[in-house]
Structure 1
Amino acid sequence: MENHALIRLSVFAGLFALFAVIEALAPRRARTQPRSTRWFTNWAIIILDMLTLRLLALALPLLAVGAALDAQTEGWGVMNAVELPLWATVVATVLIFDFAIWAQHVITHKIPLLWRFHRVHHADRDFDVTTAIRFHPVEIAFSMLLKIGLVYLLGPPAIGIVLFEIILNGTAMFNHANIRLPLWLDGVMRRLLVTPDMHRVHHSDIRAEHDSNYGFSLSIWDRMFGTYIAQPTRGHNDMTIGLQWQDDRPSRLGWSLTLPFRHK
């Protein structure tokens, strides 16, 4: 596990480049804002997110992977209290944490204070691979704290946490990418995974639609809990991405970072 950070970074960079090329060659929708200004802001936000996690690591002894190793050493958590083969605990880890991220996503829409920070993600007026990395640093810190707490409660293997995070990052970039999948392929894939067309519904400016399709990796949670909407009301080409009241300001870094503290 010593090289887990390098592995995750390599996979992230490779998949980001892949989806960026595909969406440039076969876009699903025309852009509403210049890519240069949006990408600068969205990349600046993820750099701030990384710095936030670095600062959080100074305040806390361990983050998610380190917490898993610590829990294993101390024998803490449900999975460390039972005898299960490694493959079973890894599969359980991926499934449980994927559901936890789904539930956290629902909560960020339902609790007004958390929605103030999460709407920074939804304020993006276009929908592409960089939208997947556009999360306010406060939300990133909150998510990490919840993840650490769940790690100590469950005691999952560290390799399970690394695998989960690789899958989460990869699928989030995939389902935010502005790529055009054949409709038959989209239909097959969304039986298990969240596809770009499925998740794009969640970024609609219509309230009922953006309160649906919360999944990032597996599509089963939305189907199980009745939050699945197959297609946007106005269709993918005519739907409006973002928030009902916004203008072009989401492409500005300062505006995006201070959005949670604004009245709207």
Structure 2
Amino acid sequence: MSEFILANEPAIRILGFVSVLCVMAVWEILATRRPQTIKRSVRWPGNLAIVVLDTLAVRLLFPLAAVGAALFASEHGWGLLNLVSMPGWVTVVLAILLLDLAIYFQHRIFHAVPWLWRLHRMHHADLEFDVTTGLRFHPFEILLSMAIKMAVVVIIGAPALAVVVFEVLLNATSLFNHGNVRLPQRVDRWLRLLLVTPDMHRVHHSAIQRETDSNFGFSVPWWDRLFRTYRAQPEKGHLGMTIGIEDFRTEHDLRLDQMLIQPFRHTERPPKPIGPHHDTGAV
């Protein structure tokens, strides 16, 4: 199975991405969580174009990307997991969890360090919250994130199979938890014990900074709970909350060219300490 996955990695990535994107787009039509005032025809061209640019940039500068780093580390016996003997499946699961934990802390740092926030804020500047928001990352942030991921892969000695599975899961969960979809409250309450749900992650896209600086997890909610960055609900409720950033609130800001120059535009957002906060609201 592992040989099949590695041999068909590009096809698996594309199939997984397109499938989840289409499912979430249809789900948003059938069970919308929040009414949207800005049409998809205004927002989606830029959001979809940016993911194409991101993909081209990564393939150009990092042809082998994180999987190549994993293969290189394995060949040279580098990394923590290459120094201990464990069943293969245990190594894969442990590597996936460590990679997810690294992404959690990377996300927090990108909020706390001003120049990193300049790169990351484009993701938060979307004026609506739906599946394409999960694709909206500046190419500079994507390239820096890939470099960090490759370093983490080598340090922990993640197997190539774990890297592929992790990246497919990360893409799928990012599309899912950015979905403008409605889940029954009981389902959401139980599901968010295992996965980051759309209602949980939507809090992170609030225009209120103390809410923006919470719920950093993409895949599993455990890190936010463990490190006390979990916030159950937005103060104004999911229908009353404001999505986005105060500095970028026009449809003009949603254009691709404006998205690309956002890191170079000045704003007054102060840096936020990385310390924990107290939970608010019910689970």
TM-score range, shorter chain: over 0.9
CA contact (8 A) 1:125 1:250 kept: no
Aligned counterparts, 1:45-124, within 5 A: 45-57=50-62, 62-124=64-126
Q: What TM-score does the superposition give when structure 2 sets the normalisation length? A: 0.90
Structure 1 position 2, deviation (Å): 2.1
Structure 2: how far apart are the matches of 1:80 and 1:88?
12
Deviations 1:74-116 (A, max 9, x none): 1111111111111111110110001110100000000000000
Could you say which residue in structure 2 is the equivalent of 1:7? Answer: 12
Q: What TM-score does the superposition give when structure 1 sets the normalisation length? A: 0.97
Structure 1: how far apart are the matches of 2:216 and 2:67?
25
Structure 2: how far apart are the matches of 1:8 and 1:102?
22
Could you say which residue in structure 2 is the equivalent of 1:131? Answer: 133
Q: Give the partner amino acid of 2:11.
A: L
Deviations 1:147-182 (A, max 9, x none): 111111111111101111111111111100000000
Structure 2: how far apart are the matches of 1:147 and 1:222?
20
Answering whether residue 234 of structure 2 is matched by residue 235 of structure 1, we say: no
Structure 1 position 22, deviation (Å): 0.3
Q: Give the partner amino acid of 2:60.
A: L
Q: Structure 2: 5+ residue runs without aligned partners? A: 1-5, 268-283
Structure 1 position 245, deviation (Å): 2.7
Q: Structure 1: 5+ residue runs without aligned partners? A: none
Structure 2: how far apart are the matches of 1:18 and 1:191?
23
Q: CA RMSD in A?
A: 0.9
Structure 2: how far apart are the matches of 1:194 and 1:176?
10
Q: Give the partner amino acid of 1:97.
A: L
Q: Give the partner amino acid of 1:77.
A: G
Structure 1 position 216, deviation (Å): 0.3
Other structure's SS at 2:165 match = helix
Could you say which residue in structure 1 is the equivalent of 2:35? Answer: 30
Could you say which residue in structure 1 is the equivalent of 2:272? Answer: none
Structure 1 position 246, deviation (Å): 2.4
Q: Of 199, 210, 221, which residue of structure 2 is paired with 1:219? A: 221
Q: Give the partner amino acid of 2:263.
A: P
Structure 1 position 247, deviation (Å): 1.8
Could you say which residue in structure 1 is the equivalent of 2:258? Answer: 255
Structure 2: how far apart are the matches of 1:32 and 1:117?
26
Q: Give the partner amino acid of 1:154.
A: I
CA contact (8 A) 2:214 2:230 kept: yes
**Identity score, percent:** 52
Structure 1 position 191, deviation (Å): 1.1
Deviations 1:109-130 (A, max 9, x none): 0000000010000000000000
Structure 2: how far apart are the matches of 1:25 and 1:244?
30
Could you say which residue in structure 2 is the equivalent of 1:209? Answer: 211
Structure 2: how far apart are the matches of 1:109 and 1:32?
27
Structure 2: how far apart are the matches of 1:108 and 1:252?
23
Could you say which residue in structure 2 is the equivalent of 1:162? Answer: 164
Count the aligned residue pairs.
Answer: 261
Answering whether residue 23 of structure 2 is matched by residue 18 of structure 1, we say: yes
Structure 2: how far apart are the matches of 1:195 and 1:30?
18
Structure 1 position 32, deviation (Å): 2.3
Other structure's SS at 2:161 match = helix
Structure 1 position 54, deviation (Å): 1.7
